Structure 1
Amino acid sequence: MVLGKRLRQLREQAGVSFEDAARAIEVTPLTVRRIEKAEVGLRIPYVRELLRAYGVPATEIDDFVAMAREANKPGWWYKFRDVLPEWFKAYVSLESEASVIRLYEPHYVPGLLQTPEYATALLRVGFPNESKEGLARRVDLRVRRQDLLAKPDAPVLWAILDETVLRRPVGGAEVMRAQLERLVDALDMQKVRIQIMRFSVGAHPGAYGPFHHFRFGFSELPDIVYTENLAGSVYYDRPEDVVAYLEVLDRMSVQAEPVNRTREILAELRKEL
Structure 2
Amino acid sequence: MAEARASGAPTVLRVILGKRLHDLREKAGCSYERAARELDVTHATVRRMEKAEVGLRIPYVEKLLALYGVDAAEAATFIDLARQGNRPGWWHRYRDVLPSWFSAFVSLEGEAAIIRAYEPHYVPGLLQTEDYAHSVLRAGRPGATTEELERLVELRRERQSLLTRPDAPLLWVVMDETVLRRPIGSPEVMRAQLDRLAEACELPQVRLQIMPFDAGPHPAMYGPFHIFRFQIRELPDVVFTESLVGAAYLDDVDDVSTFLEALDRMCAQAAPAHSTAAILDGIRKEI
Q: With structure 1 as the length reference, what TM-score do the two structures score? A: 0.97
Question: Which structure 1 residue ranges, 4+ long, deviate > 4 Å from structure 2?
Answer: none
Aligned-CA RMSD value: 1.1
Check if 1:27 corresponds to 2:41. Answer: yes
Check if 1:259 corresponds to 2:273. Answer: yes
Check if 1:152 corresponds to 2:170. Answer: no
Which region of structure 1 is more displaced relative to structure 2, 114-123 or 210-219? 210-219
Aligned residues: 273
> In the alignment, which residue of structure 2 is the partner of 1:98?
112
**Aligned amino acid, residue 167 of structure 1:** R
Partner of 1:196, secondary structure, is strand
Cα distance between partner residues in 2 of 1:110 and 1:57: 45
Cα distance between partner residues in 2 of 1:31 and 1:260: 51
> In the alignment, which residue of structure 2 is the partner of 1:138?
152
Q: With structure 2 as the length reference, what TM-score do the two structures score? A: 0.92
Check if 1:194 corresponds to 2:208. Answer: yes
Structure 1 residue runs of 5 or longer lacking an equivalent are none
Q: Equivalent of 2:222, from 208, 212, 218? A: 208
Check if 1:75 corresponds to 2:89. Answer: yes
> In the alignment, which residue of structure 2 is the partner of 1:182?
196
**Aligned amino acid, residue 17 of structure 1:** S
> In the alignment, which residue of structure 2 is the partner of 1:17?
31
> In the alignment, which residue of structure 1 is the partner of 2:75?
61
Could you say which structure has the greater relative contact order, defined with CA pairs below 8 angstroms and 6 or more residues apart? Answer: 2
> In the alignment, which residue of structure 1 is the partner of 2:142?
128
Deviations 1:151-181 (A, max 9, x none): 1121111000100111111011100111011
- Aligned-residue sequence identity (percent) comes to 59
Note the C-alpha offset of 1:219: 2.2
Note the C-alpha offset of 1:231: 2.0
> In the alignment, which residue of structure 2 is the partner of 1:169?
183
Check if 1:240 corresponds to 2:254. Answer: yes
Structure 2 residue runs of 5 or longer lacking an equivalent are 1-14
> In the alignment, which residue of structure 2 is the partner of 1:228?
242
